[in-house]
Amino acid sequence: MDKIVICSAVMLAPEGDLLMVRKKGSSYFQLPGGKVGLEESREQTLIRELKEELRYDVSSMEISFIGSHSTQAVNEVNTVVVGYIYLIKLAERHAFEPYEELEEVLWISRADWQSYQWAHLASEFVLPKWLSGDFDR
């Protein structure tokens, strides 16, 4: 089985909504972020990926590591994804547009989260913490 290592962001609007993205050709919504580059730190990877995918500039001072999780990748066959997850609490809600390999970017509320098909990493690690309010503290 193959393995990919990624860094992803739990990006929260002030009212608690969660930013999710969907790649072109996929039906799964996932956290923004991507694969760790050669000779990049995890933080550098996340900063680069957010710039490429969302045209969003963030500094290492604005991100907090919240944990890691391994699970089956949804877009790659026979592949395990190891995700390093960081929290970014936004001061204001942004209207992000999809760039690079993204098809869709949207804010999901706690009231409508069940309307979307979630990637395993997000559903197994992030969803329970987000729904319980762990990230609001």
pLDDT tens digits, 96-115: 999 888 999 999 999 999 99
Nearest to 33 by CA among 52, 16, 60, 14: 52
Alpha helices in 1-137 (DSSP H): 42-54, 120-121, 127-132
Superfamily of domain 2-136: Nucleoside Triphosphate Pyrophosphohydrolase (3.90.79.10)
Q: How far is the C-alpha of 42 from the C-alpha of 19, rounded, in Å? A: 20
Q: Which residues of the chain register pLDDT less than 70? A: none
Query: pTM higher than 0.85 for the full model?
Result: yes
